[in-house]
Structure 1
Amino acid sequence: MRPASPLLTCAAALLLQMPFAHAAAVKTDHVEAELVAESTALRAGAEQTLALRLQPEAGWHVYWRNPGDSGLATSISWTLPDGLSAGALQWPYPHRETLGPIVNYGYAEQVLMPVTLTVAADVQTPEPLLLQAKAKWLVCKDICIPGSADLELQLPLASDAGAAGSDERWRDAFAKARSELPQPAPADWQLRFQIHDKGADKALALAIRGTGIGSADQLAFFPYASDLLNHSATARRVLDGDGNLRLSQTLSDYYVKAPATVDGVLVIHGSGGDKAWEISATPGAVKVVPPTADTPPAAALDAPAAEAPPAYLLVLLFALLGGLVLNLMPCVFPVLSIKAMSLVDTRGATRAKQRSHALAYTAGVLLTFVGLAGLLIALRSSGAAIGWGFQLQHPGFVAALAYLFFAMGLSLSGVVEFGTRMMGVGQSLASAEGYRGSFFTGVLAVAVASPCTAPFMGTALGYALSQPAYVALTVFTALGLGLALPFLAIGFVPSLAKALPRPGKWMEHFKQFMAFPLYLTTVWLLWVLGGLTDRNGMTVALLGLTLIAFALWLWNRSGRLPAVLKLAALGAALALLASPLLAKQVAGPAGAIADVAHEPYSEARLAELRAEGRTVFVDFTADWCITCKVNERVALAAADVRQAFAERKVVWLVGDWTREDPLITRTLERFGRNGVPLYLVYHGAAEATVLPQLLTPSIVIDALPPAAP
């Protein structure tokens, strides 16, 4: 056997001593995925940078952490050797991807999403370390396809620092990714935001004051929250001579309430290159940039919240009128009925006593209004975004209010007569004898009046919440005075009370009759609760009402067992207010088809309808599907399409592929598709007509059979 040549032996020895990295790219539908490392080896006790590399095909794109109007963010999960840990994905700033009225944020070219890998100091091994990860993404063009790959990367553990050199293959790609990662905003930047959700132009107003803003040629803001802005709306901006920037963009259709901070990425495209800054704005007074703005104002951060605040005295008049009109609101009427009963009962009282009752009621109203004003001002100062009636946004409060009105109704119906020992149910305070009852009737009137924004109140409240504390307090006081004014007038002008009927046996019947407005108010509150939670939340509240009824049925029964049972029932009803099912708040209906009659897709239901000779429109969709959302807004939401469906008695079946569904996956495969959307039209037993992936109203209507004569 001939000995190996010295040259080959030397080369083999050098190769064995060199650190190496081994990875294989995985090619899937329209995306190439791979794990890559910045260095050729790992070092114990050090942090190093890896990255998930995604390369979409031309014309396709994957998504950023906030996908925009639709889509799905890329994710990764790791399986690592002992002693190694991986951080979260780091996101280079995205680009806008537009299809029709839909705008998404993502990457249409190769992107490296860096990850910090930490190696413990005690890791020792002569063998290469195997790093494994499961990556998932959504890739879209005119259809959207969920993708995933099991990725691996082998890296040796370097014996010393010098052995872990830079991998030349990925040096430029890592440098590009780092340059596009958002950096913390400069320390001298001042960032404020204000949500303008009243009026025609509902928009986010964002103001930035600091160095470097004035040199920007172009700007783009990408929020982290997906439900804050209408991503397809044009971002308006003004820049003054001092380098103060003000941005405004229309709010999302799915906007619910203002966040504590507005976070996102501000990309500045300037002559010196692009820079991405991670910003976090806090609440403040920021003026909206008008759609036709062409000259910037001088001071964005200090601009008033309203274009031209109304005169102070006019606002007070509006507040007084708004409070007066509140007396006519349906949600206030039940409490006013209780007060009307108390006025009838005191009809024979002295004029001084009537005045005192009217003043006690007015004091309850005014002090409660002032207390609410103080709470709103404190919340505003702490950065919370609130509005009038904000307590009706909390399911627990709504359920508790339903308890209260239901208990009051049962009392008026004669189920129970509350005494001085009444615990927790506020009706006893409102119906108590003497001035205390009048005072707490005023308190209760304000509690239930707050959800009702009567005419004239909007301007007054908007003005009050944007002004100094003393101004806000006077406006709220005027509101309270308007609410209390009718009873105050009766107390001081006794002739107005002549319109009240004489006491008699009818009063007991009238009292029982007045329970029904309270029951209707309870129904309304349950309806509000259903909008905040779901039917599980409503079920919890109904169970609580049953426990309340049981406790009140036992209320006047003596003995140890009834006492234990009624306390247990009341305790259980109060405990239900803390149920997680009441804490759960659900979003409103999404998509253009949310308000249209449709059924969930199943093969059995489809076969049944075809056997009946019906026309069936099958819509395979997903919440993250960009094309689906375009089609819903452009075609399926069109009035002529809805009319055609109704006239031709089309049954609409929706196959929701938002979450993995093997049945829908098999159906898609049967039609040669690996993603949504897929639109099918069946007419009786005939084979399906497959519609294009991009719809127009005429395409949908033309695919339907003619309407029956």
Structure 2
Amino acid sequence: MVAEGPVQPGGEVELALHMRTNPGWHGYWQNPGDAGLPMTVDWTLPDGASVGPLRYPVPTRLLIAGLMNYVFEREYAVLVRLKVPADARGTVPIRAAARWLACTDKVCVPEEGELSTNLVVGTGAPDRRPQFDTWRQALPQPLAAPVQFATAGDKLRLAIPLPASVRADEPYVFLATEKIGDYAGEQKFSRSGDTLVAELPRKGGGANRFEGVVALGDGRGLSFQAVPGAVPDASGTTGGSETTLLWALLGAIAGGILLNLMPCVFPILALKALHLSKAGGDSREARRDALAYAAGAIVGTGALGAAILAIRAGGSAVGWAFQLQDPRTIVLLFLLALAITLNLLRLFELPVLGGSARPAGGFGTGLLAAFVATPCAGPFMGAALGAALLLPPAGSLLVFAALGFGLALPFVLVAFVPALRRRLPKPGAWMARLQRFLAIPMAATAAACLWLLWRQGGMPALQLAAAAGVIVAAMLVSWGWAQRNGERRQGWAIAAVIVLVSLGAMIAVPGPAPRSAAAKSVNAWSEAKVAAQLGQGGPVFVYFTADWCLTCKANEAAAIDRPEVQDAFEKAGVKVLVGDWTNGDPAITRFLESRGRAGVPLYLWYAPGQPAEELPQVLTPGMLISRATAR
């Protein structure tokens, strides 16, 4: 047993169990297959020290007498992560008793050994990083997204997210969880776009979740966690997923409709209704504008969905509203909200909202509505978008497009149903008053963007955005003066300045600042903390949130942070953990995906001895208090 190098008090270091095999002999993987035994290690550690799981390289196959063995026939290393106590000094003795099975094709010999190393704390130990880097390269790399599996008779079918550009010369699935598949049976593979479909012979009763490694050839491999879901068939269609797709489409449409009630989207919809009211009885013009608006909303949400799929295919873990984890996007959203606010106050006319450039104006408004709607994943949306990421690319894009259709549906209905259009009030002075009233929620959206910038990039980002906002506001007011006086050339010059200032602010804004100590407090979520609290017999309430999620903040203010709820939690010993996804945390992203979610909010209630209960996306104080007092 060797250590990678020295370690600091309270720090972590990699250990390697270096195994050397003689010619003709082999050792076994964590799941040995039809025969053999995995290695067992009993650790003797100082108080306060701990080790993680054994991490094996990608194994190979060895078929003996019809039995499939998962083995290592060459020299290899099993890695394990060690954490030393915070008060460690000098050298820390690490001892372990290991047992393993060494075999040939005719005989097996149980072996054991006492492993030891004296770990140097501080400086002075040899640096073995090059050797450890070589061993780490032999480990399977974790897949960011979960593998979906389905059973069909005696077959176990897996949908492995793997970009078509990734070579898989000789794929093979090693099941780490036992009693699921027939190890010696034939495995079949096919492609469905960016999904590698594996068909394995099934054995045993199965499991709700399992782990494994897909070997790609040349020693490369990807580790995965598998959850139930839709799996494409050999033709690229999703066998048995028609119902899943249908429900995802309906959920996306319903979620899109509800997005119109959000404070950043409702003023845009109301403006479109006002312009429709001004248009009077011109049904042809109203329908053309509505179709253009719907096209813009569908293209906008579809483009965001395509961006998510492309980034995930590249190996990054992202979800809905991923772009709001970048301060540059927040600057753009702030300047847009500011511009719409000034437009609602009638300080200038924004052509894309004014309807004067139809159908281009309607299309642009739809794009704008899709962009400003992204901070939220409200009711119906979370499950729908989570399902979208489990479908083949075509189905995923269809669900994202359905979200845009739902966003545009109210306006389309008003435009195409004469009875609804006749119910619109006739133009009058009330329209100007309503327009100014609508400026209030849009101004609140702009203020929320500034707060979010401060949270993400600190005071430098806030000051830069505020300065850009002052300049853009002055330019827009000047543009309004030019519009009222018919000076179009001056208006175009001002527009050019606005674009340059906006681009400059987006380029210059600092990246996300490191999270403060408060953000890394004992209340920060981790699966280990949930397990520890449940082990002590106490309930846990976990909420996943982000500073840019309006639904999250509304639930926190209306339910979670209410004094009566906090008192009930304290009396019942409820541990509250927060998963902050503001700046994009890959661990949170992977957990959300494992729950079939593409974004926040997500609320989970854990009671000892029971599976996690997923709460609705609209919380009430009574909902939380009743669970706290039900013990």
Normalised by the size of structure 2, how large is the TM-score?
A: 0.50
1:571 to 484, 500, 503: 500
- Aligned mates of 2:501, 2:208 — CA distance in 1: 47
Q: Could you list the runs of 5+ residues in structure 2 that have no partner in the other structure?
A: 1-5, 12-43, 55-76, 86-91, 97-117, 149-159, 163-167, 188-197, 201-206, 542-565, 572-631
Match of 2:269 in 1: 336
2:332 to 400, 405, 426: 400
2:351 to 396, 420, 428: 428
Cα displacement (A) at 1:390: 2.0
Assess, with a 3 A threshold, how the Cα gap between structure 1 residues 589 and 571 changes in structure 2: closer, same or farther: same
CA contact (8 A) 1:544 1:574 kept: no
- Aligned mates of 2:476, 2:125 — CA distance in 1: 64
- Aligned mates of 1:566, 1:520 — CA distance in 2: 24
Matched, 1:185 2:115: no
Match of 2:250 in 1: 317
Trace 1:98-497 onto structure 2 (pairs within 5 A): 108-109=94-95, 148-149=122-123, 182=135, 184-185=137-138, 192=143, 194-195=145-146, 240-242=182-184, 281=222, 287-288=226-227, 310-347=243-280, 349-414=281-346, 416-418=347-349, 427-435=350-358, 436-497=360-421
Trace 1:610-625 onto structure 2 (pairs within 5 A): none
Matched, 1:512 2:512: no
CA contact (8 A) 1:551 1:567 kept: no
3-state secondary structure, aligned to 2:440 = helix
CA contact (8 A) 1:360 1:439 kept: yes
3-state secondary structure, aligned to 1:288 = strand
Match of 2:521 in 1: 591
Identity of aligned residues (%): 26
Of 446-455 and 205-214, more deviation after overlay is shown by 205-214
- Greater Rg over alpha carbons, structure: 1
Assess, with a 3 A threshold, how the Cα gap between structure 1 residues 148 and 462 changes in structure 2: closer, same or farther: closer
Q: For residues 543-595 of structure 1, what are the alpha-carbon distances to aligned partners after superposition, in whole Å with 9 as ceiling and x for unaligned?
A: 32222223334435689999999966763443121235245464781231679
Assess, with a 3 A threshold, how the Cα gap between structure 1 residues 149 and 62 changes in structure 2: closer, same or farther: farther
Q: For residues 580-624 of structure 1, what are the alpha-carbon distances to aligned partners after superposition, in whole Å with 9 as ceiling and x for unaligned?
A: 5245464781231679xxxxxxxxxxxxxxxxxxxxxxxxxxxxx
Cα displacement (A) at 1:195: 4.3
Assess, with a 3 A threshold, how the Cα gap between structure 1 residues 562 and 29 changes in structure 2: closer, same or farther: closer
3-state secondary structure, aligned to 1:581 = coil
Cα displacement (A) at 1:368: 2.8
- Aligned mates of 1:30, 1:351 — CA distance in 2: 71
- Aligned mates of 1:401, 1:382 — CA distance in 2: 26
3-state secondary structure, aligned to 2:145 = strand
- Aligned mates of 2:308, 2:45 — CA distance in 1: 53
3-state secondary structure, aligned to 1:528 = helix
CA contact (8 A) 1:399 1:525 kept: yes
3-state secondary structure, aligned to 1:405 = helix
3-state secondary structure, aligned to 1:542 = helix
What amino acid sits opposite 1:571 in the alignment? Answer: L
3-state secondary structure, aligned to 1:148 = coil
What amino acid sits opposite 1:288 in the alignment? Answer: V
Match of 1:529 in 2: 453
CA contact (8 A) 2:144 2:315 kept: no
Assess, with a 3 A threshold, how the Cα gap between structure 1 residues 147 and 576 changes in structure 2: closer, same or farther: farther
1:547 to 432, 452, 471: 471
CA contact (8 A) 1:325 1:454 kept: yes
What amino acid sits opposite 1:182 in the alignment? Answer: W
- Aligned mates of 1:149, 1:59 — CA distance in 2: 20
3-state secondary structure, aligned to 1:543 = helix
Assess, with a 3 A threshold, how the Cα gap between structure 1 residues 497 and 242 changes in structure 2: closer, same or farther: same
Cα displacement (A) at 1:511: 2.0
CA contact (8 A) 2:9 2:122 kept: no
3-state secondary structure, aligned to 1:194 = coil
Cα displacement (A) at 1:404: 0.7
- Aligned mates of 2:126, 2:142 — CA distance in 1: 42
RMSD: 6.3
3-state secondary structure, aligned to 2:122 = strand
What amino acid sits opposite 1:581 in the alignment? Answer: P
Assess, with a 3 A threshold, how the Cα gap between structure 1 residues 303 and 478 changes in structure 2: closer, same or farther: closer
Assess, with a 3 A threshold, how the Cα gap between structure 1 residues 462 and 190 changes in structure 2: closer, same or farther: same
CA contact (8 A) 1:61 1:108 kept: no
Q: For residues 303-350 of structure 1, what are the alpha-carbon distances to aligned partners after superposition, in whole Å with 9 as ceiling and x for unaligned?
A: 999998844333333333222222223332121122122122112x42
- Aligned mates of 1:455, 1:511 — CA distance in 2: 28
Assess, with a 3 A threshold, how the Cα gap between structure 1 residues 62 and 439 changes in structure 2: closer, same or farther: same
Of 385-394 and 555-564, more deviation after overlay is shown by 555-564
3-state secondary structure, aligned to 1:481 = helix
- Aligned mates of 1:29, 1:358 — CA distance in 2: 64
Cα displacement (A) at 1:281: 3.1
Cα displacement (A) at 1:444: 1.4
Match of 1:602 in 2: none
- Aligned mates of 1:305, 1:528 — CA distance in 2: 40
- Aligned mates of 1:406, 1:515 — CA distance in 2: 9
3-state secondary structure, aligned to 1:94 = strand
Normalised by the size of structure 1, how large is the TM-score?
A: 0.45
Match of 1:598 in 2: none
Assess, with a 3 A threshold, how the Cα gap between structure 1 residues 545 and 468 changes in structure 2: closer, same or farther: same
Match of 2:596 in 1: none
CA contact (8 A) 2:146 2:226 kept: no
Assess, with a 3 A threshold, how the Cα gap between structure 1 residues 179 and 459 changes in structure 2: closer, same or farther: closer
What amino acid sits opposite 2:318 in the alignment? Answer: I
Cα displacement (A) at 1:519: 0.3
Q: For residues 271-311 of structure 1, what are the alpha-carbon distances to aligned partners after superposition, in whole Å with 9 as ceiling and x for unaligned?
A: xxxxxx9976389xx52399xxxxxxx99xx9999998844
CA contact (8 A) 1:287 1:306 kept: no
CA contact (8 A) 1:60 1:108 kept: no
- Aligned mates of 1:579, 1:519 — CA distance in 2: 24
3-state secondary structure, aligned to 1:417 = coil
CA contact (8 A) 2:476 2:494 kept: no
Cα displacement (A) at 1:150: 6.3
Matched, 1:59 2:46: yes
Cα displacement (A) at 1:196: 8.4
Q: For residues 391-438 of structure 1, what are the alpha-carbon distances to aligned partners after superposition, in whole Å with 9 as ceiling and x for unaligned?
A: 222221111111111012112223x424xxxxxxxx432224142222
Cα displacement (A) at 1:461: 2.1
- Aligned mates of 1:536, 1:397 — CA distance in 2: 16
3-state secondary structure, aligned to 2:413 = helix
Of 528-537 and 305-314, more deviation after overlay is shown by 305-314
Cα displacement (A) at 1:488: 1.5
Match of 2:80 in 1: 94
